[in-house]
Amino acid sequence: STPELYFQPTSVEEIREILDMARQRNKRVKVVGGGHSPSDIACTDDFMIQMGKMNKVLKVDKEKQQVTVEGGIFLSDLNVELNKHGLALANLGAVSEVAAAGVIGTGTHNTGIKHGILPTQVVGLSLLTASGDILECSESINADIFQAARLHLGCLGVVLTVTFQCVPQFHLHEVTFPSTLTEVLNHLDDHLKRSQYFRFLWFPHSENVTVIYQDPTNKPPSSSANWFWDYAVGYYLLEFLLWISTFVPSLVRWINRFFFWLLFSSRVENINVSYKIFNYECRFKQHVQDWAIPIEKTKEALLELKAALENNPKMVAHYPVEVRFARADEIWLSPCFQRDSCYMNIIMYRPYGKNVPRLNYWLTYEGIMKKYGGRPHWAKAHSCTRKDFEKMYPAFSKFCSIRDKLDPTGMFLNTYLEKVFY
């Protein structure tokens, strides 16, 4: 993204001035947090506003266990602040170098069938609209705008503040153990019941699966992390071998099996404060897709993806396919809108920045996800347009009418959002 002008405002007044200037010069504005979205949802050639200097904790309500923050605060800072007050967010994605307004902008999720995506933790927010007005919204004030703005795609205005419902601070006990795809898919309900934050990693071109259970505990921190295995092998050796495989693609099958055997074939346990367990290493550059399908379609969809890889020997898939779960919600553009969901994240690394052909894998996966009623993650790759979203989201037209009302000239649109709305 190469914005013409880049701003880091420190006050609402400064943001208003930037919006005025954009209006006068007929420019669009893109507001960003961490800029961590793998899709081009946060890109622009016009004006970019980075909210990193509006990053304060404004209020901690210990009784209600709620925290109000400025939209630009990184969750990595918020986690530490909350911990000081004996509070925590009930769920987090893999990384915390992302902003409060950014994570809710794209519907960031983790796992746990009793837990919704991150925007479900939001109980209130305030929005500076294109006209320069500030709108407060919650379940009881501007309720319609609230259901739209809890997953706002960055197109409704500048999110100034966010109020999160928190929970008492907690430790998590993580247990990682090997299994097989058949076992996990045949006993999915048991796994979902057994662990509050259950997810699994499938190693394509094999039956291998790593199961990850994370559950609250009173035990003190303990860790089996090891720099040699986690970084020297799990990061640097993997990147080197995947680079070699760009000349001999069939090696990927071998690499997936080898790394499972090397790093994931025994049981490992870790205990720590919740956010240190929720966050994990995502390794080097990569392309990703991550669609949510109705949870009852998990088995059929994964077996179809496995069969497609078996039937197309030339199609290679890097590990892992990460399978996570989320509770249904009522947020208009949430991939989990009104249905418990399974998110299936596929990945193709770019070892040393080199692109690995992925078109066949990408299209095959998208085809399967669409067949099972999938909805793509807003921050990750997909080829959907307005026609698809109209079918996927029963409340799509309600979101569009709120957007038309709050931003009639399309000041907050960019190329990505034009595909969504036109």
Ligand X SMILES: Cc1cc2nc3c(=O)[nH]c(=O)nc-3n(C[C@H](O)[C@H](O)[C@H](O)COP(=O)(O)OP(=O)(O)OC[C@H]3O[C@@H](n4cnc5c(N)ncnc54)[C@H](O)[C@@H]3O)c2cc1C
Dist. CA 6–CA 11, nearest whole Å: 15
34 binds ligand X (CB under 6 A): yes
Q: Which is nearer to ligand X, 44 or 245 (CB)?
A: 44
Q: Which of 24, 227, 147 is nearest to 395 (CA)?
A: 147
Structure tokens at 73: 């605060």
Out of 27, 109, 171, 191, name the contact with ligand X by CB under 6 A: 109
* Euclidean distance between CA atoms 51 and 98, whole angstroms: 11
Q: Which is nearer to ligand X, 289 or 315 (CB)?
A: 289
How far CA 212 is from CA of 100, 215, 371, in Å, comes to 26, 10, 28
- Helix (H/G/I), strand (E/B), else coil: 98: coil
Told to check if 374 binds ligand X by CB under 6 A, we report no
Size of the site for ligand X (CB under 6 A): 33
Residue 147 lies near ligand X (rule: CB under 6 A): no
- Is residue 99 within the footprint of ligand X (CB under 6 A)? yes
Residue placing its CB nearer to ligand X in the complex, 100 or 209: 100
Among 105, 119, 234, 335, binds ligand X (CB under 6 A): 105
What secondary structure does DSSP assign to 325-337, as a single string? EE--B--TT-TTB
The nearest distance, CB 95 to ligand X, in angstroms, is: 4
Q: Which of 39, 188, 34, 169 is nearest to 111 (CA)?
A: 188
Whose tokens are 């994605």? That residue is: 93
Interface residue with ligand X, options 33, 112, 116, 124 (CB under 6 A): 33
For residues 393-417, b (16+ Cβ closer than 10 Å) or e, as one string? bebbeebbebbeebbeebbbbbebb
Closer to ligand X by CB, 71 or 320: give it: 71
Nearer to ligand X, 264 or 278 (CB): 278
Mark the segment that binds ligand X (CB under 6 A) among 90-98, 142-150, 174-182, 402-410. Answer: 90-98
Stretch that binds ligand X, among 101-109, 202-210, 219-227, 264-272 (CB under 6 A): 101-109
**Tokens of residue 169, six digits:** 């601070």
In DSSP terms, which residues pair with 212 in a beta bridge? 176, 199
Q: Which is nearer to ligand X, 128 or 315 (CB)?
A: 128
Q: Which residues in this chain contact ligand X in the complex, by CB under 6 A?
A: 30-38, 41-42, 51, 71, 93-95, 98-99, 101-103, 105-106, 108-110, 153-154, 158-159, 282, 377, 379
